[in-house]
Structure 1
Amino acid sequence: MKLKNKFLMLIMFVLLFAVSACSKGETAGSSEGSKEGTKGKSELKLTLSAQPPTLDTVATNSVDSATVARNIFETLVTPNSNFQPTPMLAKSVDISEDGKTYTFVLRQGVKFHNGKEMTSEDVVASMNRWKEASVVAKDVLGDAVFEAKDDYTVTLQLQQPSSGLLNILASTKQFPAIMPKEIVEKATPEGVTEFIGTGPFKVEEVKQNQYIHLTKNDDYQPVDGKADGLAGKREALVDDVYFYIVKDAATRLSAIQTGEYDINTDVYFEQYDTVKKDKNIQTYPDQYGNLMAVYNKKSGLFTNQKMRQAINAAINTEDIMLATFSHEELFNLDHGYMSKDQKDWYTKKGLESYNQADTKKAKELLKEAGYNGEEIKLIATSDYSEHYDSAVVLEGQLRELGVNVKLETFDWPTLLEKRKDPAAWDILVTGYSTVTTPAQILYLNPNDHGWTDDAKIADLLAKINAAPSTAEAQPLWAELQEYASNEYVPVTTFGTYSLVAAARSNVKGFEIFQGPVVWNTSVQ
């Protein structure tokens, strides 16, 4: 009996010790998100405003695809917060004295989600596929190929130096995801069918137009170093990540206010004040890039340069940006193809052709172009409010000019297909994310939608790419922007703008850099 009582007293002592420990946050009650000690909420729920057409970033430049895929796939180098290329799957990068040979030494022991170790054969297959699929890579790399020197060394031999090559490899748009060789070899023009990478999360389920479910990669091997931009240490602090496809802005707002979702990756601009005033929500403005009208220069009315100049002369960009974003802190009136933050590239050349709002000049140019009331097909997506709202304002301005314009809107995946057809549209309203070199500007490329096919632009881009330094390339870039803005007019830039994400106050460690950064994020 005494032994039994002593046993009961021992149990009570152990329980009291456990309760005391819990009250001090030493067990699973107070989360720092680390694997060893405490756990927070085991899942993170985010919203997307559009269904990604694929999670294969090599096959698309969709922002939503990149938002999800950056958690699944990794690259040889990735940008830090200053957009400087930093090793990720590459342990080191060596550039020869003549600037023509790049040697990538790979990190050893990195495993794909299927358990296979990443080696040079996987990198070579992935990079050569990306080189052929990416219009930017194709222009810069030409006939150069990636080759395996040994199991953990990859070389790239260029025909001429390229000062911006590593920036292109570190691009967040249509980024060169490293996948297993056997997956790459099965890829079709539409993309791969299995999404297997080396990232901190792996694909569990894709339910079309409902959600994309990722799970923690328990075998993930992060790089050393402090997290910085997309560089540095990445750690999965939750077991499950759900990206829910929620197209309606009001539904997204309500869901984050009630806590149904943890993060809204796309806050409607008119909701900005409401979200900002909510003490339970933190806002995250993210400098995205340019909003603009792209002209179809391959087929139809806008193969005529005078037509492009006419519409460019008529547009009041200030009215478009104010009506679209409501808050001046979310946009800048800027004509530049490169951001003001990019000191090496920004130029004021071409400013005289920006925000003209000159109806008289526009009508004279329309007359010179021989315009006779033909219908102008203006297209945009309804999935992104900034695209749709600015297109509506543009339509109104063009109607006041006296042109016969018809606005058609589509969901994002449909628009991605529609814009490939030169017979389907005349003007496309869309956004372009920030890039780090002129070579990455898609609307200056003859193979991208808009089809800019101009000898002078091509020649200047080639010289810029081949320049041994940015200092020597900058005057060439200024000349290109001046010519494109004043004469050729491939696009009309409305201005630069920020997208807004919002997270519940119990979301910790969340950052935003060219989109949401999900790793290193926990929910308490």
Structure 2
Amino acid sequence: MKFHKVKFLIVLLIVALVAAGCSDSGDNSSGNENDGNTEKGGELNIALNASPPSLDQPATAAAATRDTAMLMYETLVTVDAEYKTVPMLAETIDLSDDGKEYTFHLREGVKFHNGKEMIAEDVIASMERWLEQSSLTGNIFVDATWEAEDDYTVVLTLAAPSALTLDTLATTKQAPAIMPKENIESAPAEGVEEYIGTGPFKFVEWKQDQYIHFTKYEDYQPVEMEASGLSGKKEALVDDIFMHIVSDTSTRIAGLQSGEYDFAYDIPYDNFEQLDNDPNLETLLVPSANAVLKFNNVQGIGSDFKLREAINTGLDLDEIMMAAFPNKDFYWLAPGYMDVNLSNWSSDAGSEYYNQNDPEKAKEMLEDMGYDGEEFRILATRDYDYIYSLAVVIHEQLTNMGINSKLEIFDWPTLSQMTENENELGSWDATISGSSIVSTPPQLISLSPSWAGGVNDSFIVDTMEDIELAKDHEEAKELWDTLQLYAWEEHLPTIQLGGFSKVYSLNNKIKGVETLVGPIFWNVTVEE
């Protein structure tokens, strides 16, 4: 079989997105370069707003897992600052002429945190587990096989070619983290319990509801390539990172101002100006995600399309988004499931059904469908301020439409369990979440066949498969426009509320923080 070489900078999908922030510095980094006066070493104390449900990266799409686990786990390929797909643990990749066979030539001498060298058997075990665990792999890898030619060569064989293969392997949600084979084989059904990767930091301990501790991995083997996004050279320039679980907003802010914390997640938008004007702090405003109202499409009254249609007709999305993001610089209204900045995929299809803001018509629709006051249960959390704020206003608007809305508040891990556990599907009708920026439609959790009960619609599932297996991007984009229109017009698995940026804040002594799919803490130093 003939092959052609895929160069080190592999690009199967060029996505015109630079995750640029809107802080005063005008970029998505801390704005301060490391210089000769900066001492390496020390520790970073980071205030997380929510505890991750797990550190088992392939098993959950939670942002808190992504942002913590990527310190210690790496993947075969990853994304640079422009969301281009580039190798990480693979050194080069060969692609067969028929597009079905990918040969990954692994970097040699890469060691896991337990001292074992990474070889093909570890990659194969990890990738097979990822295909079992992840809800984002779609149909590209159905009947795919992973085989070792030797200790440093792994061959992926697909049943059908797809131009989205490498991009999907580079996903940051439920990322296909490479772990030792024996670690995977000994893991219980609940997930891996020994967190061992190849990244610049290694896991030390997790004190539940207190902190997660990582330390510098002295034997880390960086890629000799300029750092960009999640790719290129990574260096652990601090000795220790403590991810503190600080769900209370005022405690995160007070700790940041006192110097107890060096970096804080999810700063409330009401506090943006206060912290932005503090000479000892810096703020980062970074495009992050779409806010979505996700319906239970499987059980309960949320599975009734007519009810979903009435709710979509009546909601005032500007009022909802303004409640969570009290400045129009923090959010934007757009009907697209894909982020508006992704020129290859952004779509206005179905815009006539977006933000109709007609509560009187919604009341008529409820009456016509025979709605008689059944309870409509919305799950939300205070661990993410924006989710709670969105939920409160949605609850109020539904009540004013005549829907018997009940708002139920849980911590984030509990809420995640309730929406991901099939046995809990009967306990809720809708939930609010963020759908973070992804580079292809099949990675959208809001259209996943498994997330939170799944879309429960064969047309969506089948069309997504057609997108995955389309012969080129033009065909895939036409299919995507058709699918997005159908989602708004015929099914409504979610209501896309709008896009938003997140606010982070850090002390000025911290240098080199970049952001892409969350903050990046390698290549970061602390001034003494």
Fold shared by both chains (TM-score > 0.5) = yes
Shift of 1:174: 0.6
Range with greater deviation from structure 2 (389-398 or 322-331):
322-331
Change (3 A) 1:114 1:387: same
Change (3 A) 1:32 1:312: closer
Shift of 1:443: 2.1
Partner of 2:160: 160
Distance 2:211 2:506 in 1: 18
Contact residue 338 and residue 346 of structure 2 kept, 8 A = yes
Partner of 1:100: 100
Change (3 A) 1:382 1:32: closer
Secondary structure at 1:408 match in 2: strand
Partner of 1:303: 303
Contact residue 330 and residue 497 of structure 1 kept, 8 A = yes
Partner of 2:508: 505
Shift of 1:68: 0.7
Distance 1:367 1:451 in 2: 28
Contact residue 309 and residue 489 of structure 1 kept, 8 A = yes
Secondary structure at 2:71 match in 1: coil
Shift of 1:121: 0.3
- The partner residue of 1:430 within 409, 430, 433 is 433
Secondary structure at 2:222 match in 1: coil
Distance 2:99 2:249 in 1: 48
Matched, 1:377 2:380: no
Partner of 2:24: none
Matched, 1:80 2:83: no
Distance 1:116 1:431 in 2: 37
Distance 1:69 1:139 in 2: 26
Contact residue 450 and residue 490 of structure 1 kept, 8 A = no
Shift of 1:32: 5.5
Contact residue 276 and residue 282 of structure 1 kept, 8 A = yes
Q: Which protein, 1 or 2, shows the higher relative CO under an 8 Å CA cutoff with sep ≥ 6? A: 2
Secondary structure at 1:422 match in 2: helix
Distance 1:476 1:171 in 2: 21
Shift of 1:328: 1.3
Range with greater deviation from structure 2 (454-463 or 237-246):
454-463
Matched, 1:271 2:271: yes
Matched, 1:472 2:475: yes
1:325-368 CA distances to partner (integer Å, 9 max, x unpaired)? 11211111111000111111111111011111111221232233
Shift of 1:252: 0.6
Secondary structure at 2:425 match in 1: coil
Range with greater deviation from structure 2 (175-184 or 367-376):
367-376
1:348-389 CA distances to partner (integer Å, 9 max, x unpaired)? 111011111111221232233321100100111110001111
Matched, 1:146 2:146: yes
Secondary structure at 2:452 match in 1: coil
Contact residue 139 and residue 468 of structure 2 kept, 8 A = no
1:398-448 CA distances to partner (integer Å, 9 max, x unpaired)? 111111000001001100111132101001111111111111112212222
Partner of 2:9: none
What pairs up with 1:174-193 in 2 under 5 angstroms? Answer: 174-193=174-193
Range with greater deviation from structure 2 (160-169 or 317-326):
160-169
Distance 2:461 2:54 in 1: 30
Distance 2:310 2:77 in 1: 43
Partner of 1:394: 394
Range with greater deviation from structure 2 (92-101 or 223-232):
92-101
Partner of 1:491: 494
Range with greater deviation from structure 2 (38-47 or 202-211):
38-47
Letter in 2 for 1:144: A
Contact residue 138 and residue 442 of structure 2 kept, 8 A = no
Contact residue 340 and residue 346 of structure 1 kept, 8 A = yes
Distance 2:431 2:456 in 1: 17
Structure 2 residue runs of 5 or longer lacking an equivalent are 1-32
What pairs up with 1:10-21 in 2 under 5 angstroms? Answer: none
Contact residue 126 and residue 181 of structure 2 kept, 8 A = yes
Q: How many residue pairs get matched?
A: 492
Range with greater deviation from structure 2 (38-47 or 434-443):
38-47
Shift of 1:289: 1.1
Partner of 1:16: none
Q: Which structure has the highest helix share of the two?
A: 1
Partner of 2:134: 134
RMSD: 1.4
1:27-80 CA distances to partner (integer Å, 9 max, x unpaired)? xxxx9689xx97345111101011111111111111111111000000000111
Range with greater deviation from structure 2 (442-451 or 180-189):
442-451
Secondary structure at 1:83 match in 2: coil
Letter in 1 for 2:137: A
Partner of 2:10: none
TM-score by length of 1: 0.92
What pairs up with 1:23-34 in 2 under 5 angstroms? Answer: none
Structure 1 residue runs of 5 or longer lacking an equivalent are 1-30
Shift of 1:489: 0.7
Distance 1:454 1:175 in 2: 26
Contact residue 297 and residue 303 of structure 1 kept, 8 A = yes
1:70-113 CA distances to partner (integer Å, 9 max, x unpaired)? 00000000111111111000001222221111111100000000
- The partner residue of 2:462 within 459, 462, 474 is 459
TM-score by length of 2: 0.91
